[in-house]
């Protein structure tokens, strides 16, 4: 019995050993199981939603103040005063707001004004924000980008054709006239077909042209003759000493201007025999009559001193000036005197001394302009007046180099047109 039980135990142990051997041969090794740490997954943070702002554009009306414009758009009075106070503290001159100026006003979702932007011009911008406790203003200035550009035009019926066609801005055209006003009478001598070209500083803000600076060089051709002006100021000199010279360095500013007013027409010339329109008969007319609308400014053609200012019989309201080198000038039939016109007052060249009218013996609004030299009346259109100072010898070489470069650039960038040959531009 014991023998049979031992045999059974041995048989069981053998079976177990065989089964273990078979399992080792059949099943591959398995790496011990490693439990992965549990990681909590967190989604991306939800961005804070910026408050929605509604922006309105407010255009100032005639006689508007900034406060009145804000009140008209439902800004509380206290808030409007706080905004304007912050703007003044930042340097805004609110007395110079103009009709057409625009304000950008931003409101929060609940209707509260929270921001106002105001740009009085292209070069400065103010922005006022509600910080929660007060309104705070900031000022941003734009640095002008200056580009030198060519402008050119042609006279068809008047010099203003170039403005109306968009070829030049009004201020640039006026600058052109001022450059040559001692050399050329744009009132009497302008002809159809006259041409001009010039180099001018154009000022840009954020890539947009805004306004113009100095004319650096200009040419005007009329009746085959060319006037050339080159701007120059000696290095280190103030900008107000920027003056114009011909290509050889002679000043274009003469002692006398060629005309006492701007852009009009001559209705009667200098002559010793003219039928008088009121008194009849033939009489000398030792003057130039400029027809112009009543109120047109009249300026002194040269520095001088007032000898007389008031009514003088048939001359109507008259101003008489004394100048150096024995010259006197007369301005008759004015509608009124300029400010400060009294005997002994000093006047500067191009200072307004009166306004065109029809006082005295006159058939219509015009200026009767006379020039007397050494006691005799002379023709203002043919008189040879004293020239201005030329380029200093110490600056002559620098000027000639600059003049050559500017005129060369004009010729490259504004070549001659068919109606004006190159030879016309080159004459002086």
Mean pLDDT for back-to-back runs of 10 residues, the chain (428 residues): 46 48 45 46 49 86 92 93 94 92 92 93 93 92 93 86 79 90 82 93 92 95 93 76 92 87 58 47 69 92 96 95 95 96 95 95 90 92 84 94 95 70 46
Q: 95: which DSSP letter?
A: G
Residue 297: burial class (beta carbons within 10 Å; 0-12, 13-18, 19+): middle
E strands along 256-361, which residues? 265-268, 271-275, 282-285, 288-291, 297-299, 304-311, 317-322, 327-337, 346-347, 352-356
Name the token pair of 104: 């950008």
Cα–Cα distance measured from residue 145 to residue 209, given in angstroms and rounded to the nearest whole number = 9
What's 265-378's CATH class?
mainly beta
Q: What letters, b where the CB count within 10 A reaches 16 and e where it falls short, cover 370-388?
A: bbbeeeebbebbeeebeee
Q: Which of 284, 291, 311, 298 is nearest to 376 (CA)?
A: 284
Question: Could you give the residue range(s) of every CATH 3.10.450.350 domain in the chain?
Answer: 54-141, 145-254+401-426
pLDDT at 41: 45
**Is residue 371 within 8 Å of 329, Cβ to Cβ?**
yes
What DSSP string describes 139-201?
EEEPPPEEEEEEEEEE-SSSTTHHHHTTSS-HHHHHHHHHHHTTT--TTTS--TT-EEEEEEE
Tokens 């406790």 found at: 133
**Is residue 390 within 8 Å of 249, Cβ to Cβ?**
yes
What's 145-254+401-426's CATH class?
alpha beta
Residue 317: CB atoms within 10 Å: 21
pLDDT at 181: 85
pLDDT at 118: 94
Residue 258: burial class (beta carbons within 10 Å; 0-12, 13-18, 19+): buried
Name the token pair of 155: 């006279």
**Is residue 428 within 8 Å of 228, Cβ to Cβ?**
yes
**Is residue 288 within 8 Å of 381, Cβ to Cβ?**
yes
Which residues are paired to 328 by β-bridges? Answer: 322, 372
Cα–Cα distance measured from residue 15 to residue 22, given in angstroms and rounded to the nearest whole number = 11
Q: Which CATH architecture has domain 54-141?
A: Roll (3.10)
Q: What do you get for the CA distance between the two ends of the chain, in Å? A: 151
């Amino acid at each position: 019995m014991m023998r049979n039980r031992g045999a059974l135990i041995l048989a069981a142990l053998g079976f177990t050993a065989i089964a273990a051997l078979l399992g080792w041969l059949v099943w591959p090794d398995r790496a011990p199981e490693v439990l992965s740490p549990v990681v909590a997954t967190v989604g991306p943070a939800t961005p804070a939603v910026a408050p929605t702002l509604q922006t309105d554009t407010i255009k100032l009306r005639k006689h508007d103040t900034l406060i009145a414009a804000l009140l008209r758009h439902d800004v509380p009075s206290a808030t409007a005063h706080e905004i304007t106070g912050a703007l003044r503290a930042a340097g805004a001159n609110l007395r110079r707001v103009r009709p057409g100026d625009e304000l950008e006003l931003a409101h929060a979702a609940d209707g509260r004004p929270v921001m106002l932007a105001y740009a009085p011009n292209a070069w400065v911008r103010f922005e006022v924000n509600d910080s929660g406790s007060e309104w705070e203003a900031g000022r941003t200035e734009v640095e002008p980008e200056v580009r030198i550009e060519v402008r050119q035009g042609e006279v068809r019926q008047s010099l203003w054709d170039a403005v109306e066609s968009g070829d030049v801005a009004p201020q640039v055209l006026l600058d052109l006239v001022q450059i040559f006003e001692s050399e050329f009478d744009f009132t009497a001598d302008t002809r159809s077909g006259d041409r001009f070209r010039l180099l001018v500083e154009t000022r840009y803000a954020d890539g947009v042209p805004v306004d113009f600076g100095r004319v650096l060089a200009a040419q005007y051709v009329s009746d085959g003759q060319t006037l050339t002006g080159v701007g120059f100021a000696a290095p280190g000199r103030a900008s107000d000493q920027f003056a114009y010279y011909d290509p050889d360095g002679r000043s274009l500013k003469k002692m006398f201007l060629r005309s006492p007013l701007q852009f009009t027409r001559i209705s009667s010339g200098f002559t010793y025999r003219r039928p008088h329109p009121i008194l009849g008969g033939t009489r000398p007319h030792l003057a130039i009559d400029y027809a112009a609308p009543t109120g047109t400014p009249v300026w002194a053609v040269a520095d001088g001193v007032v000898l007389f200012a008031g009514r003088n019989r048939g001359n109507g309201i008259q101003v008489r000036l004394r100048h150096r080198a024995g010259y006197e000038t007369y301005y008759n039939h004015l509608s009124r005197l300029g400010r400060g016109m009294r005997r002994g007052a000093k006047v500067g060249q191009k200072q307004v001394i009166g306004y065109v009218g029809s006082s005295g013996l006159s058939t219509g609004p015009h200026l009767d302009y006379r020039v007397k030299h050494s006691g005799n009346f002379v023709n203002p259109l043919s008189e040879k007046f004293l020239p201005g100072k030329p380029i200093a010898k110490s600056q002559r070489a620098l000027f000639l180099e600059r003049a050559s470069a500017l005129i060369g650039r004009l010729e490259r960038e504004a070549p001659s047109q068919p109606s004006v040959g190159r030879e016309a531009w080159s004459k002086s």
